[in-house]
Amino acid sequence: MKEKKSKGRPFLEIFASSLQEDYRFPLLEFFAFLYALGTFVFANISVGFTGVGGLEESSVYGLVSSLMSLPLFIFMILIFKNIAYGLGSDLEKGTIQTIFSYPLKRYAILTAKLLSAIGAALLVLFGIQVFALLVLAPDMILPYMAVVLATYLASLSYPLLLASIILLVTLLIRKGGLAIVIGIVLFFAGSIFQSLAIFLAMVSRSPLLLQILSVVNPSIAMQYHYYNLSVFVGENLNGETIWAPTFTEVLVYIGAGYALVIAVLLLSYYFFSRRLNL
């Protein structure tokens, strides 16, 4: 008897099923969507404000990063919840066994789950953000697309690294509730550690900590690249420049950040595909 190739569409259906399960709590989704929509309002105000100062790269960076910070935070909570609670519960309760009875390789199942947990959330966030920026400030955004893109990539790298770590932890411990607690602790511990590192860098006048930190979170390199252009920020108390990476260096840090994300994701994929015994 020969195996038969499925004529169905398992990947799309598992993705659709995951979407239905991941986005069922209306409250968090509502706030996330509201914040994303709020971009329209903020973009209007910010464009008016920065327009006074001229259309410089730093203004574009300032606009994009400030527009994104709060919605990204909300969306990251949503993504952490989707991974830790969604996939974690599937593993904990055994729903994954049911999914493993469908004709789809394990890596494809994980991809469908991650597209729902991360991809769909980011698509909504960036879809609205980019649409808002293009509608409200096309003259400001279009000439600086590289800056806009780099800002988004830099801002997203660290949250994606955290999400990848949470994914790996979730797969290892298989407990949804515990994984989400670990994710939140990791998020806040990371924030505290970054603040401390920046403070130490300023006190010691050494860029080393900032450089190390930028590998994990390239938005710091981006921040110092642009803050160096302005008067106060990026300089220590004596007015000396601590660190002023070039745009190319920033791109290298972004690349390094994503390499880290990919490494952790590959570990998760390897574990899920080859080592996960149910």
Partner 1 sequence: MPSFLIEAKGLSKNYGKVIAVNRLDLRVAEGSVMGLIGPNGAGKTTTIKIVLGLLRPDGGEVEVFGQRPWDNPNIRTLIGVVHEKAYFPAHQKTLDYLQRVCRIFGVAEDRALEVLKLVNLKEASDRPIRALSAGMLQKFAIAHALVHKPQLVIADEMTANLDPQARSNLLDLVAELHKRENVTFLLSSHILPELSRVCDSVAIISLGKVLASGNLVELYDKFTARVLRISTDKPEVLAQAVKRLSYVQSVDADSRGITVKVAEGAEEKLYEDVPSLAKEIEAKILGIESGSASLEELYRLVVTKGGAG
Site residues (CB under 8 A) for partner 1?
1-10, 13-14, 16-17, 20-21, 24, 93-95, 97-98, 100-106, 275, 277-278
According to DSSP H, which parts of the chain are helical? Answer: 10-22, 26-53, 57-80, 88-93, 95-99, 106-114, 120-136, 138-141, 145-173, 176-204, 208-216, 219-227, 247-270
Phi/psi at 77 (5° precision): -60, -45
Q: Which is nearer to partner 1, 98 or 246 (CB)?
A: 98
Q: Which residues pair with 241 in a beta bridge?
A: 235
Report the nearest approach of partner 1 to the CB of residue 2 (Å): 8
CB of 269 to partner 1, least distance (A): 15
Cα–Cα distances (Å) from 224 to 15, 207, 218, 229, in that order, read: 39, 10, 10, 9
Judged by beta carbon, residue 126 or residue 175, the one nearer partner 1 is 175
Q: Which is nearer to partner 1, 1 or 237 (CB)?
A: 1
CB of 137 to partner 1, least distance (A): 40
Neighbouring C-alpha atoms within 13 Å toward the C-beta of 101: 4
Smallest distance, partner 1 to C-beta of residue 162, A: 26
Of the pair 90, 141, the CB lying nearest partner 1 is at 90
Provide the minimum distance between the beta carbon of 157 and partner 1 in the complex, in angstroms, as a whole number. 32
Residues ≥6 apart with Cβ < 8 Å to 276: 106, 171
By beta-carbon proximity to partner 1, the closer residue of 93 and 205 is 93
Q: Kindly report the length of the chain.
A: 278
Shortest CB 95 distance to partner 1, Å:
4
Measured from the CB atom, the residue of 24 and 240 that comes closer to partner 1 is 24
CB neighbour list of residue 225: distance below 8 Å, 6 or more residues apart:
244, 245, 246, 247, 249, 250
